[in-house]
Copies of this chain bind each other. A is one copy, B any other.
Amino acid sequence: MKQWNIYLSGEIHTDWRQQIEQGCKALPVVFTSPVTVHELSDAAGDHLGHAEDPFWRDHQSSKVNAIRTQTLIQNCDLAIVRFGDKYKQWNAAFDAGQCAALGKPYVTLHDDSIIHPLKEVDAMAFAWAKTTSDIIKIIEYVVKQ
């Protein structure tokens, strides 16, 4: 039986990942994610040397994070990309762009208040869902034998 590898990209300030993981417990799926602890992620490269300039500090850490995220995206069968109502969330759109170019199906998860600014991202998505419960239904349907 195929085990589906699903990457959960985007928002880290709510428990949407836990809800989906909980709802898919009985299914042959493995979930992966970026590191979702904000401070850890921002400091991922700090031990490699102190970078005075905030740009280079962020650069150093982001590239360490990219080792993880690029590998996990390349390994996944499906990505769920979550856009919440706070922050810029360009990393989520960036992940979606990678999926599109790699031919990886992805589903977006966001409110209808941001349909218009997400139209390019949604255009290449395989579905748009508004709730984690919808995502769980999609996964159930897609992976069933």
- A contacts, CB < 8 Å to B: 1-2, 4, 30, 32, 35, 40, 44-45, 47-49, 51-56, 58-72, 74-75, 77-78, 83, 87-103, 105, 107, 112, 114-124, 126-130, 134, 137-138, 141-144
Contact = CB atoms under 8 A, between A and B. Distances in A.
A20 to B, nearest CB: 15
Given A48-B129, A49-B130, A122-B59, A88 B114 contact: yes
A65 B119 CA distance: 10
Given A54-B115, A59-B123, A63-B127, A141 B35 contact: yes
Contacts of A72: 2
Contacts of A77: 71
Interface of A, helix, strand, loop or mixed by DSSP: helix
A74 B87 CA distance: 30
